[in-house]
């Protein structure tokens, strides 16, 4: 399965448009069933890669690895050990 996630950008790349990078992930059958259930309940009609990217994005924001993007409804409290600058945790 291919997962579309964005690469981490450096300051020199910040002005360039981001393009998703395909990532291959092997999922155990029970995780694949859980992913399909998530799609059915939370993201009907979404592709597996899109749903998995959404799950990972939410986790990364919650953990402070990336800053919430404009219009995001996730609380903006930063993880104390990972200060966030320019949308990327350092």
Tens of pLDDT along 20-69?
Answer: 888 899 999 999 999 999 999 999 999 999 999 999 999 999 999 988 87
Domain containing residue 14: 2-89
Is residue 84 within 8 A of residue 60, CB to CB? The reply is no
- pLDDT of residue 73 exceeding 70, the answer is no
Number of domains the chain contains: 1
The DSSP letter of residue 90 is -
Q: At 84, phi and psi to the nearest 5?
A: -105, 130
């Amino acid at each position: 399965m291919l997962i579309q996630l964005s690469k981490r950008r450096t300051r020199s790349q910040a002005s360039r448009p981001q393009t998703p990078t395909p990532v291959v992930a092997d999922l155990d059958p029970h995780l694949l069933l859980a992913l399909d259930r998530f799609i059915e309940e939370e993201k009907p009609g979404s592709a597996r890669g899109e749903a998995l990217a959404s799950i990972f994005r939410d986790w990364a924001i919650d953990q402070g690895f990336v800053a919430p993007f404009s219009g995001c409804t996730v609380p903006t409290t930063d993880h104390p050990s990972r200060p966030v600058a320019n949308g990327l945790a350092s």
